[in-house]
Amino acid sequence: MKQELDLRSHQWSGHERVIVFDGVCNWCNAWVNFTIAHDPHGTFKFGTLQSERAQQILQALQLSSENFETFLLLERARVYTKSTAALRIVRQLSGFWPLFYLCIVIPRPLRDAVYDFVARHRYQWMGKAETCRVPSPNERERFV
């Protein structure tokens, strides 16, 4: 899903692409690790949904600020969610991963149904941390 939001005045507007994820979700953290490993040019920056800056965006988009149903991709002042966000991310990664962007031809409601299934079970499958992810010294410049 693409949603319009005037991000020009937001503190993250200076970054071309920001992935905003659930910082306590082990599945989400694994996804961040994967993205960092396949993004050698540092295309993406990262922020947690629990942060004050992300909470402002969630509120403006009328999304839950506690029970996170999706992560966000902020890309050039646009906000993408669910499967569309994931596909737009893999399109920018190294290796064969951009081929998965071909899944964009699958109707969004079907893609998002699969996304929602995974999102509902992610804590069951991979657990939940007590606190948000703390970036390593090597990763700090990638986090906003």
pLDDT of residue 3: 53
The domain limits of the chain are 2-136
**Average pLDDT score over residue span 102-126:** 96
**How far apart are alpha carbons 85 and 101 in whole angstroms?**
10
pLDDT 10s digits, 77-108: 789 999 999 999 999 999 999 999 999 999 99
- Of residues 29 and 133, the one with the higher pLDDT is 29
pLDDT of residue 63: 84
**Average pLDDT score over residue span 17-41:** 94
Count of C-beta atoms within a 10 Å radius of residue 122:
19
**Which pair of structure tokens corresponds to residue 74?**
């902020």
**Average pLDDT score over residue span 11-31:** 88
User: Which CATH class for the 2-136 domain?
Assistant: alpha beta
pLDDT 10s digits, 44-75: 999 999 998 889 888 888 888 887 888 999 99
**How far apart are alpha carbons 79 and 57 in whole angstroms?**
9
Q: Is the pLDDT of residue 10 over 80?
A: no
Q: Is the pLDDT of residue 9 over 70?
A: no
**Which pair of structure tokens corresponds to residue 144?**
């906003």
Query: What one-letter code names the amino acid at 129?
Result: A
Q: Give the single-character DSSP code of 119.
A: H
Q: What percent of the chain has pLDDT over 90?
A: 63
Distance (Å) of CA 28 to CA 24, 120, 128, 137: 8, 13, 10, 19
Distance (Å) of CA 92 to CA 68, 95, 103: 24, 10, 14
Residue written as token pair 């390593």? 136
pLDDT of residue 7: 59
**How far apart are alpha carbons 91 and 100 in whole angstroms?**
7
